[in-house]
Amino acid sequence: MFLFSQKHHAVMGLDITPSSIKLIELTMSGGQYSVDCYAAEPTPQNAMNEKAIIDADAIGEAISRAVRRAGARTRDVAVAISGDAAITKIIQMPRNLKEADLEAQVEMQADQYIPFPMDEVAYDFEVLGASEKDPDSVDVLLVATRSENVEQRRAAVAAAGLTTRIVDVEAFALENACRLMTHQMPNGGIDRSIAVADFGASTTTFSVLRNLKIVYTRDFNFGGNQLTEEIMRTYGLSLAEASRSKKEGGLPANYQTDVLDPFIDDMTQQISRSLQFYLASGSGREQPDKILLCGGCANIAGVADVVQSRLGIPAERGDPLGQMRLTARARAQVQRDATALLTACGLALRSFD
| Model confidence pLDDT, tens digit, residues 227-266 | 999 999 999 999 989 999 998 888 999 999 999 999 999 9
Same domain, yes or no, for 29 and 167? yes
Identify the CATH number of the domain in which residue 98 sits.
Answer: 3.30.1490.300
Same domain, yes or no, for 126 and 210? no
Same domain, yes or no, for 33 and 172? yes
When the pLDDT of each residue in the chain is averaged and rounded to a whole number, the result is: 92
Is 265 inside a domain boundary? yes
- The number of C-alpha atoms within 13 Å of 178 and in the hemisphere containing its C-beta is 28
Question: How many distinct structural domains can be found in the chain?
Answer: 3
Same domain, yes or no, for 132 and 206? no
Same domain, yes or no, for 79 and 105? no
Is 30 inside a domain boundary? yes
Beta bridge partners of 196: 207, 292
**Which residue from 320, 315, 325 is spatially nearest to 339, judged by alpha carbons?**
320
Is 4 inside a domain boundary? no
C-alpha angle 217-145-42 in degrees, rounded to nearest 5 = 70
Same domain, yes or no, for 301 and 195? yes
Element containing residue 23 per DSSP (H, E)? strand 20-29
> Cα(26)–Cα(326) distance, rounded to whole angstroms?
10
pLDDT at 3: 60
Strands (E), the chain: 12-16, 20-29, 32-42, 48-49, 52-53, 76-81, 86-94, 121-130, 137-146, 163-169, 193-199, 203-210, 213-221, 290-295, 315-317, 325-326
> Cα(144)–Cα(90) distance, rounded to whole angstroms?
12
What is the Cα 349 distance to its own chain's centre? 12
| Tens of pLDDT, residues 338-350 | 999 999 999 999 9
Same domain, yes or no, for 212 and 276? yes
Same domain, yes or no, for 107 and 67? no
Classified as helix, coil or strand, 296 is: helix
> Cα(319)–Cα(343) distance, rounded to whole angstroms?
13
Is 208 inside a domain boundary? yes
pLDDT at 85: 86
The answer to whether residues 349 and 176 touch, using CB atoms and an 8 Å cutoff, is yes
> Cα(316)–Cα(304) distance, rounded to whole angstroms?
5
pLDDT at 156 over 90: yes
**Which residue from 261, 208, 213 is spatially nearest to 234, judged by alpha carbons?**
261
**Distance in angstroms between the alpha carbons of the first and the last residue of the chain:** 17
The answer to whether residues 165 and 353 touch, using CB atoms and an 8 Å cutoff, is no
Range of the domain at 121: 86-147
Is 5 inside a domain boundary? no
| Tens of pLDDT, residues 33-79 | 999 999 999 999 999 988 899 999 999 999 999 999 999 999 999 99
| Tens of pLDDT, residues 187-224 | 999 999 999 999 999 999 999 999 999 999 999 999 99
- Report which residue type is found at 81: I
The answer to whether residues 199 and 267 touch, using CB atoms and an 8 Å cutoff, is yes
Same domain, yes or no, for 59 and 137? no
Same domain, yes or no, for 74 and 198? no
- Domain end among 131, 147, 163: 147
Is 255 inside a domain boundary? yes
| Tens of pLDDT, residues 276-321 | 999 999 888 999 999 999 999 999 999 999 999 999 999 999 999 9
Q: DSSP of 168-221, one letter per residue?
A: EEHHHHHHHHHGGGGGGSGGGGTT-EEEEEEE-SSEEEEEEEETTEEEEEEEEE
pLDDT at 293: 98
pLDDT category at 128 given cuts 50, 70, 90 is confident
Identify the CATH number of the domain in which residue 72 sits.
Answer: 3.30.420.40
pLDDT category at 112 given cuts 50, 70, 90 is confident
Same domain, yes or no, for 286 and 345? no
Is 254 inside a domain boundary? yes
The answer to whether residues 193 and 289 touch, using CB atoms and an 8 Å cutoff, is yes
pLDDT category at 4 given cuts 50, 70, 90 is low
pLDDT at 2: 56
Beta bridge partners of 326: 35
The answer to whether residues 332 and 72 touch, using CB atoms and an 8 Å cutoff, is no
> Cα(343)–Cα(174) distance, rounded to whole angstroms?
5
What is the Cα 253 distance to its own chain's centre? 35
Same domain, yes or no, for 308 and 341? no
Is 6 inside a domain boundary? no
**Which residue from 161, 150, 102 is spatially nearest to 3, judged by alpha carbons?**
150
pLDDT at 5: 54
What is the Cα 326 distance to its own chain's centre? 21
**Which residue from 345, 353, 352 is spatially nearest to 15, judged by alpha carbons?**
345
